[in-house]
A and B are shown apart, each in its own frame.
Chain A
Amino acid sequence: GENVEQHPSTLSVQEGDSAVIKCTYSDSASNYFPWYKQELGKGPQLIIDIRSNVGEKKDQRIAVTLNKTAKHFSLHITETQPEDSAVYFCAARLGSTLGRLYFGRGTQLTVWP
């Protein structure tokens, strides 16, 4: 299977600063990399994803970059706000396994006002 490692496990930033969360994966056959946000007491929700034929994707204040050679991908949040505080999970999916995701262990992001 796939092995996804995520760093850091906790991240504290001041409101307005940027936050970066990094993930590595082990299987070069992985071709889909979603990021999920989980607010307290709720289920994870997809916030952005990237496929292996793309190097970067942006959606307003969030962006994801993918380096296939190094097998790592990152989530970038700019101009952070207190409502960005949550647990963020990266995941990877092998090309041959439709739907099945392998998750990182999560990053607790806290944005201080």
Chain B
Amino acid sequence: NAGVTQTPKFQVLKTGQSMTLQCAQDMNHNSMYWYRQDPGMGLRLIYYSASEGTTDKGEVPNGYNVSRLNKREFSLRLESAAPSQTSVYFCASSGLLAGGKDEQFFGPGTRLTVL
């Protein structure tokens, strides 16, 4: 099992450009999440998808859109990148494990710089 995979690992954009961050999980999890991590700010939730076909806003959704393509894949799109979106982006997934435990697994992250 690869767990949670993210592409690309690194990306540099110019202000106004658009791009899509890809995320996939092979653990048959229902829920998927997109976070951004900035120095001293912890992990802030951008959007999440509790199940295939549903998406909801998190704490910092402005400037982003998401698509839950199927149960495995959850993409994050920046339509018009701004320098304030320079950050490390993490995708995560969670689902009920044996014994009722619900653990959130994170991908390796995408480092995005917007010039």
Write the residues of chain A forming the contact surface with B, with a CB cutoff of 8 angstroms: 1, 6, 9, 32, 34, 36, 41-46, 49, 89, 98-106
Partner of B104, one of A9, A101, A105: A101
Residue B12 CB within 8 A of the other chain:
no
> Chain B's nearest CB lies how many Å from the CB of A39?
11
Q: Place the interface of chain B in its size category.
A: 20 to 34
Bound-complex Cα distance A89 to B43 (A): 9
Q: Verify A44–B106 contact, CB threshold 8 A.
A: yes
Please classify the interface of chain A as helix (H, G, I), strand (E, B), loop, or mixed, using the class held by over half of its residues. loop
* Contact present for A43 and B42 (CB under 8 Å): no
Q: A97's closest neighbor in chain B, by CB?
A: B50
Q: C-beta contact mask, B95-115 vs A, less than 8 Å → 1, else 0?
A: 000000111111111000000
Once A42-B108, A43-B109 are accepted as A-B contacts, the answer to whether A100 and B48 lie under 8 Å apart by CB is yes
Closest B residue to A93 by beta carbon equals B102
Asked if B107 and A99 sit within 8 Å, CB to CB, the answer is no
Shortest Cβ distance from residue B45 to the other chain A in the assembled complex, whole angstroms: 7
Residues in A with CB closer than 8 Å to B90 are 43-44
The answer to whether A104 touches B108 (Cβ under 8 A) is no
Q: Is B31 an interface residue (CB 8 A)?
A: yes
